[in-house]
Amino acid sequence: MTTALTCTNIHVDFDGFKAVNGVDLTLDRGEVHFLIGPNGAGKTTLVDAVTGLAKYSGSVVKDGVELRGKKVHHIARRGIGRTFQTATVFEQLTVAQNLDIAAGAGRSPWSLLRRRTVLPDNVVAVLEQIGLAGQAQTPAGILAHGQKQWLEIGMLLVGDADVLLLDEPIAGMGHEERDTTGRLLHEIAETRAVAVVEHDMDFMRAFASRVTVLHAGAVLASGSVDEVSNDPRVQEVYLGASHEQEAIDAATA
Amino acid sequence: MSRFFATRAGVWSGFGAAALVLFGAAPLLLSGFRLGLLAQFLCYAIVAVGIGLAWGRGGMLTLGQGVFFGMGAYLMAMHMKMADAEFRNGHGAVPDFMELAGIRELPAYWVPFASPVFTIAMILVLPTGFAVLLGFAVFKRRVKGAYFAILSQALAGAFAILLIGQQSMGGFNGLSRFRYFFGYNLDDAVNQQMLYFIAAGVLLVVVAVALQLRRSRYGELLVAVRDAEERVRFLGYDAANIKVVAYAAAALFAAVAGAIFVPVVGIISPASIGIVPSIMFILGVAIGGRASLVGPVVGALAVAWAQTALSEQFPSAWTYAQGLLFIVVIALLPGGIASVAALTKRFQAKSATVEAAA
């Protein structure tokens, strides 16, 4: 198990509002690392910072290379892939075309100007892995919601990302799809570092190798599922709040 | 039908049919005057192919193609004026319009345009190079959507105003009264027909280039950038580079069209390259169907033909017809004429399922 990504003392400041306030985070290969926390805790902002979308102070190092100040597409080429809360695929293009584009960031201009004759091997393999081999020629726009999210993950895999930052990858999925996704994440994480921003506590308990809880832009706790759920501070700000909410729901029901 | 045209045989037969019409039927059936008009319309169609690529496939609303069209046209016109003056008064002579404006000395930047090779090289390089520089400046800063459209339109306006102020470029009246096109007398009907054939040939080449760009991996990437630019960036591509290529190709097409337009029509002035002509280019593409390959060509030809036909019959009606046409297409047929086939297919499928259910 090797460290893939190290974030040190990350601060993100939106006109005086400290969205992320001194976060340290380490992502290891072989782990599915969950980032949880209430709304506004800074989870997505942290992902934005690492991928070059939000300006920050501090340091993000991947395999010995500092990423701060690099452009979005340069960071992506360093093997850092991300998905978005709403699945973003190229709806007018087929599943195969989506994956082919994702696999081709290093292509020469000359090969870009020619037609694709056969699908690259890694695209075929990933089509199988994400369970969309039968839909290779389907326009991505008419895929089911869950399938779009799998396609998005597949696009990171063919692009050789080895740090995957997934923003709510199971939003809107049914039970079976969630389990499939969870198993897929562990399969992917065998050789890569996977971070998952998630609200779903059941999914987190079932599939997290490690959990980091963010609150108000800072790390509240970090550790295994059990360590984190037994942390009284976490129960207070996060799980406690939801228990209270459940109590209120039960009372009003 | 559309599936047939996606095959290799379909593509070749499509080009074959177009060549048959352009090189066979049209010269046989049309008078010299009408053929000249068609040559002019073909120039608009060449511009339209580029707009279809940049706007339809790349999502860049290029409201200022008049700039590149104008650059190509003026570069060609400069050479033709130089050649005419040289023929009349010998090497280094001042073109006639400059004499009238009281300019006795040939401006230095006119001198190299005596060379046909230099002129053609400039037509191919200068507008395209300008588009590349402008494209990098704009797309690297992620200027897009309406901001890009306004910027490009303002550029077309500014370019026209700049030319109006330049007496050594013909000012408001532009450059006209050409006698020779690379040594061929423009009064000769045979040479006029040759110009038409050049325009038709260039159109076919430009469509073939656009087709290759669309079907290549680059073409898929361009659509991806149009629909989700940010996503493309997070996959490791520099989206600006991808857009610049399509924008530059559109500029090149427009410049070549402008260069052919000048000998065909016999005049180029700021009125042919400013904001209004630039919008006319867009109008044809929108009506034809911006995202399809042939749609922009059909739209550009249809709009230009309708304008000429209507203005001949009812001189003031065209403006109203143009507005009406635009409203109808935007409201009822956002995919343009090219989407009619797909719409009828969908309609038939729908009525078929209704019948099956009943």
Look at residue A252 in the predicted model and tell me its pLDDT. Answer: 55
A135-150 in b/e form (b: 16+ CB < 10 A) is bbeebbeebeebbbbb
- The proportion of chain B whose per-residue pLDDT surpasses 90, expressed as a percent, equals 73
Q: Structure tokens of B9?
A: 């045989």
Bridging pattern class, strands A57-62 and A32-36: unpaired
Residue B26 and residue B41 in one domain: no
B147: CB partners within 8 A, 6+ apart: none
Going from the C-alpha of B88 to that of each of A64, A82, B168, B263, B310, the distances in angstroms are 73, 69, 19, 18, 40
Domain, as residue range, for B55: 34-275
Residues B3 and B46 placed together within one structural domain of the fold: no
Which among B215, B221, B230 is the nearest to A101, CB-wise?
B221
In a domain, B358, yes or no: no
Residue B200 within a domain: yes
pLDDT tier at A163, thresholds 50, 70, 90: very high
Determine the Cα angle at B118 with ends B115 and B121, to 5°: 150
Pick from B275, B305, B337: which residue ends a domain?
B275
| Whether residue A248 has pLDDT greater than 60 | no
Q: Please list every residue in chain A whose beta carbon sits closer than 8 Å to the beta carbon of residue B228.
A: 88-90
pLDDT digits 0-9 by tens, B322-345: 888 878 887 888 888 888 877 777
Q: What is the per-residue pLDDT across A22-65, written as a single tens digit (0 to 9) for each?
A: 999 999 999 999 999 888 889 999 999 999 999 999 999 999 99
Q: Is B325 among the domain residues?
A: no
Task: Considering only residues B200 and A248, tell me which one the structure prediction assigns the higher pLDDT.
Answer: B200
Instruction: Dump the DSSP string for B252-313.
Output: HHHHHHHHHHHHHHSEE-GGGTSHHHHHHHHHHHHHH-TTSSSHHHHHHHHHHHHHHHHHHH
Confidence category of residue A249, pLDDT binned at 50, 70, 90: low
In chain A, residues with a C-beta closer than 8 Å to the C-beta of B231 are: 84, 88-90
pLDDT in tens, B111-161: 999 999 999 999 999 999 999 999 999 999 989 889 999 999 999 999 999
Asked if B14 and B150 sit in the same domain, the reply is: no
Q: How far does A132 lie from chain B, in Å, by closest CA? A: 20
User: Are B2 and B126 found together in one domain?
Assistant: no
Residue A245: the pLDDT is 54
Q: In sequence order, which residues have a C-beta less than 8 Å from that of residue A113 and are 6 or more positions away? A: B212, B213, B216, B217, B218
Domain presence at residue B308: no
Q: Residues in chain B whose beta carbon is closer than 8 A to a beta carbon of chain A? A: 212-213, 215-218, 220-221, 223-224, 227-228, 230-239
Chain A residues in contact with B217 (beta carbon < 8 A): 100-101, 104, 107, 111-116
Q: Confidence class of residue A247 from pLDDT cuts 50, 70 and 90?
A: low
List, as one string, the DSSP characters of B224-235: HHHH-HHHHHHT
Alpha-carbon torsion angle B221, A105, A2, A37, nearest 10: -30
Residue of B nearest to A97 (CA): B220
Cα four-point dihedral sign B115, B121, B127, B133 = negative
Residue among A92, A102, A106 whose CB faces B227 most closely: A92
Whose structure tokens read 């629909």? B227
DSSP character at residue A94: B
B92 compared with B178, residue with greater pLDDT: B178
**In the block, residue with structure tokens 């130089």:** B82
Share of chain B above pLDDT 70, in %: 97
Residue B26 lies in a domain: yes
The confidence score (pLDDT) of residue A171 equals 87
Do the domain assignments include residue B52? Answer: yes
Q: Examine the domain organization and report whether B128 and B270 are in the same domain.
A: yes
DSSP assignment letter at A70: -
- Verify that B66 and B138 share a domain, yes or no: yes
Burial of A129 (0-12, 13-18, 19+ CB in 10 A): middle
- How far is Cα B29 from Cα B223, in angstroms, rounded to an integer? 40
Indicate yes or no: CB of A107 within 8 angstroms of CB of B228. Answer: no
Cα(B269)–Cα(B74) distance, integer angstroms: 8
Number of domains observed in the structure of chain B: 2
The predicted pLDDT at position A239 comes to: 54
Domains of chain A by range and CATH? 3-196+207-252 (3.40.50.300)
Q: Is the per-residue pLDDT at B1 higher than 50? A: no
Same domain for B225 and B89: yes
Residue B222 with chain A: CB contacts under 8 Å: none
**What are the Cα distances from residue B183, in Å, to A74, B33, B36, B191, B218?**
53, 22, 19, 10, 40
Clarify whether residues B67 and B79 are in a common domain. Answer: yes
Same-domain status, B12 and B98: no
Question: Between B220, B228, B234, which is nearest A97 by CB?
Answer: B220
Residue B199 lies in a domain: yes
Name chain B contacts of A100, Cβ cutoff 8 Å.
217, 220
* Residue B93 confidence (pLDDT): 86
Indicate whether B200 and B256 sit together in one domain. yes
d(CA B159, CA A122): 50
Q: What pLDDT score does B350 carry?
A: 72
Please indicate whether, in this complex, the C-beta atoms of A101 and B228 are within 8 angstroms of each other. no
Chain B residues with CB under 8 Å of A106 CB are 236
Same structural domain for residues B127 and B269? yes
Identity of the residue in A77, A93, A159 whose CB atom sits nearest the CB atom of B223: A93
Query: Would you say residue B353 lies in a domain?
Result: no
A200, A25 Cβ separation under 8 angstroms:
no
| Dist CA B262 CA B280 (whole Å) | 18
A118 CB within 8 Å of a chain B CB: no
Write the pLDDT tens digit of every residue in B32-79. 999 999 999 999 999 999 999 999 999 999 999 999 999 999 999 999
Instruction: Please tell me whether residues B41 and B127 are part of one structural domain.
Output: yes
For residue A99, the model assigns a pLDDT of 96
